[in-house]
Structure 1
Amino acid sequence: MPALFTRLLCLLMSFGVLATAAQAAERPVVRVGILQFGTVSWELEVMQRQGLLEREGVEIRIVPLALKDAANVAIQGGEVDVIANDWIWVSRMRSEGRDYVFAPYSQAVGGVSVRPDAGIASFADLKGKRLGIAGGALDKSWLLLRAYARRTVGEDAATFVRPQFAAPPLLNELVMRGELPAAMNFWHYTARLTAAGMQELISMPQILAGLGIEDELPLVGWVFRERWAQASPQAVEGFLRASAAAKQLMLGSDAVWEELRPLMRAEDEATFVALREGFRAGIPRVSDDEAERVAGQVFAILAAEGGQALVGSASTLAPGTFWKRSPDR
C-alpha cells in the first residue's frame, strides 16, 4: 500500500507539473524592447517580481536595446511588440499610414537645472549663458523651452542662450565640474543633479503653464501596433493592467523600491530618493482622454517649433494616436 500511495502521489504531482506547464505555454508573450539601463526596466522588474504579469495571464520577453533609434527600428521590423516612446513619434507614423498607437506611461520630463554658484535665479538670468541640452535640436523639451522663451522674454531660446547639445551623462559631468552653468537633461539625470545640490530653475509643468497649458501631460508611453493589439487583446490589455498595477505599488510602497536599488545604480541615499520620488511624480494621474486633449494642444506648439523634421506633414495630432481600450476590459 505505501508503494501504491507513493506512485499515485507522484502521478498526481506529474499531472500538476504538466498542467502548470500547459498554462504557462498558453500565456501570450509580449516582447518589450527597452534601452539598457533605462528607467523603464524598473517598472518591468516590479511587474515580474510581484507576479503582476502572471496574475494577468501574460509573459514578457525583454529585448535590450542600445539606443532610442534602435527601439524604433526594432518595432518597425517586427522584432518587438512594445517599446517606450512619445506620442509625437506615434502621430507622425500614423500620418504616414502606419498603425502605431500610444498608451500613456509617464509624464516625467526633466527641466532646467543650474549650479547654485552660477548667479542664475530666474529664466531671464540665462541670457547669453551656455545651456547644456540633451536629446538634440528636435528634443521636445528644448522645443517647448524655445516657445516658452518667446512668450516670457520675447526671444527664441536658441538665440537667448548659448545651446550646447551633448549626451546626458556628459552634460551632468560638465555641470558637476563647473564647466556648464545650466543644463536641460532627461528627468533621471536631472534627479541626480538635484541630489548633488544643483537647483531646479524651471520644471516642465512650469514651462507648459507659461504656454497656457495648466493640465498634466504624459509625454512618454507604451507604443505598439494597432493590428497587433486587436489580434492579441489578452496580451496588450493584460500587459497594460500589469503596468498600471506596478505603478500603484511603486507609488505607495517603499519596500518595492528597496528591491530595485541594484537596478537604479544610485551612488548614495540622496540620489536613490531623488530617483524614486522623480519616478513617482511622473506617474500619470489624468485620464487617457484628457491626456489626448492636452497632447493636441501641445502638438500645435511643437509643430510650429520643430516643423516637418519633427512631426512630418501633419498639422494636428493624428486621429487614433492614443490607444482606446475596450469598455469591457
Structure 2
Amino acid sequence: MNISRRVLCAAALLTAASPLGFHASAAPSAPKIRVGVLKFGTVNWELDTIKHNKFDTANGVDVEVVYFAGEDATNVAMLAGDLDVIVSDWLWVSRQRSEGEDLTLAPYSTAVGAIMVKEDAPIRAIPDLVGKKIGVTGGSLDKSWLLIQGLAQRDHKIDLTREAEIVFGAPPLLSEKAVSGELDAVLNFWHFCARLEANGFRRLIGADDAARALGASGPVSALGYVFHDKWANENPDVATSFIKASAQAKKLLAESDAEWQRLAPVVRAEGRELEVLRDRYREGIPRRPLAEEESDAAKLYEILAELGGEKLVGEARHMAPGTFWAALKT
C-alpha cells in the first residue's frame, strides 16, 4: 500500500541529513522527542508500533510517550513548552497561529466519525433523521457534526438541531445507548463507529462524505502531529526523523495483519472488531500531496467558521498561513 509523496520526500530529506541512515541504531545520546497523547487514544497504536519495531532509534531519535487524561491537558502542556509533539486538529492549530502561537501540523489521519444506525433501521438518508433521537459526541461545536448539519441544511433545508432530538455525551456511553436502542442514530468518533460496524451497525453518512459534498476534493486529515515551528526549525533532522518513523509505522500497519494481531491487546479488540478497526485505520492513512489537503482544509475552515462562529475558530475567518508544516510541501 502506497504512502503519501510528502512522507517519501521527508524520507529523502532524512537520508541526506542523517549520517546514520534509516537502518543504523541510534546512539545513546539520541535526541528525545516527548509526544503527549491520551492514554487510551488511537494514536497509541502507531506509537506502540514505532517503539516496538524501533523505528525511532533506527532514525536516530528516541520517542518518549507521555500520557494525559484529556485533550485539554495535552494542549496546555504543548503551549507551556513541556512537550515536543501532540496530536490535534488543524482548526485548533490555525486558531493558535491566529492568536500568535507558532504551532504547525503534519497530517496524521483522515479517519473521521460518521452517523451510525442499526443495520435494519428504516433510516436511509439525512431526511429520515427528522424526528429521531441522535447521539452526538464532541459537543455542539464538533467539526463532524457541524459539517453534517451544513449538508443537511444546504441539500435538504433541514435544521437537525431543531428537527431532531439531539443528545450529547461521551463516546462509550453513546455507543452503549445506540446498541440498547435508546438512540435512533449516533455520531461518534471513527474508532467507535468501527466497533459499532463490527456489531450490527452501518454508516448513514460520514463527516468525510459531508466534507466532499461541501467542496473538498478528497480526504482531509482530521488530525495531525502538532509541534512548534521554532522547535522544527532548530531541530530539522529530529522533526523529519519523527515523521519518517511515523511513515514506517503506517506502512507496516497498512501491510501487516500480523502487526495488528500483536497490537490486539493495545487496541482492545479481537476477531471481526479488530479487522474492521484495522481496515478503517488503513483507509485513514494520508496519501495526498500536502498542498491538496491544505487547499481543502482552507475551504472547510471557511464553512466551519460560518457554522461554528467565533466560539469555534476565534476571530479569524480564514485558515492561518503555516497551519500545515511547510517543509512537507517540498
Same fold (TM over 0.5): yes
Find 1:295's aligned residue among 294, 297, 305.
297
Paired position in structure 2 for 1:185: 188
Counterpart of 2:241, as a letter, is: G
Find 1:280's aligned residue among 267, 282, 286.
282
2:159 maps to 1:156: yes
State how 1:98-247 maps to structure 2 within 5 Å.
Answer: 98-247=101-250
CA distance in 2, matches of 1:102, 1:64: 20
CA distance in 1, matches of 2:322, 2:328: 14
List gaps (5 residues or longer) in structure 2.
1-24
CA distance in 1, matches of 2:51, 2:59: 11
2:29 maps to 1:59: no
8 Å contact kept, 1:205–1:214:
no
2:87 maps to 1:84: yes
8 Å contact kept, 1:53–1:59:
yes
CA deviation map 1:122-180 (0-9, x unaligned): 11110011110001111100111111111121122212322110000000000011111
Counterpart of 1:59, as a letter, is: D
CA deviation map 1:200-224 (0-9, x unaligned): 1112232123213232211100001
Find 2:307's aligned residue among 301, 305, 308.
305
Paired position in structure 1 for 2:37: 34
CA distance in 1, matches of 2:146, 2:71: 19
Find 1:318's aligned residue among 317, 320, 325.
320
Counterpart of 2:59, as a letter, is: E
Partner of 1:283, secondary structure, is coil
8 Å contact kept, 2:37–2:68:
yes
Paired position in structure 2 for 1:19: none
8 Å contact kept, 2:145–2:207:
no
Partner of 1:196, secondary structure, is coil
8 Å contact kept, 2:217–2:296:
no
Shift of 1:327: 7.8
CA distance in 1, matches of 2:217, 2:250: 23
8 Å contact kept, 2:117–2:186:
yes
Shift of 1:187: 0.2
CA RMSD of aligned residues (A): 1.5
With over 3 angstroms needed to count, the CA separation of the structure-2 counterparts of 1:327 and 1:37, relative to structure 1, is closer
CA distance in 2, matches of 1:113, 1:195: 12
CA deviation map 1:51-99 (0-9, x unaligned): 2111110001111011111111110122211100000000000000100
Partner of 1:61, secondary structure, is strand
CA deviation map 1:104-124 (0-9, x unaligned): 000000111012343212111
CA distance in 2, matches of 1:23, 1:57: 4
With over 3 angstroms needed to count, the CA separation of the structure-2 counterparts of 1:185 and 1:94, relative to structure 1, is same
CA deviation map 1:218-275 (0-9, x unaligned): 1100001111111111221100111011111111111111111110101x41111111
8 Å contact kept, 1:29–1:61:
yes
Count of residue pairs the alignment pairs up: 306
8 Å contact kept, 1:28–1:234:
no
Counterpart of 2:197, as a letter, is: T
- The structure with the largest alpha-carbon Rg is 1
CA distance in 2, matches of 1:23, 1:40: 23
Partner of 1:108, secondary structure, is coil
CA distance in 1, matches of 2:185, 2:26: 54
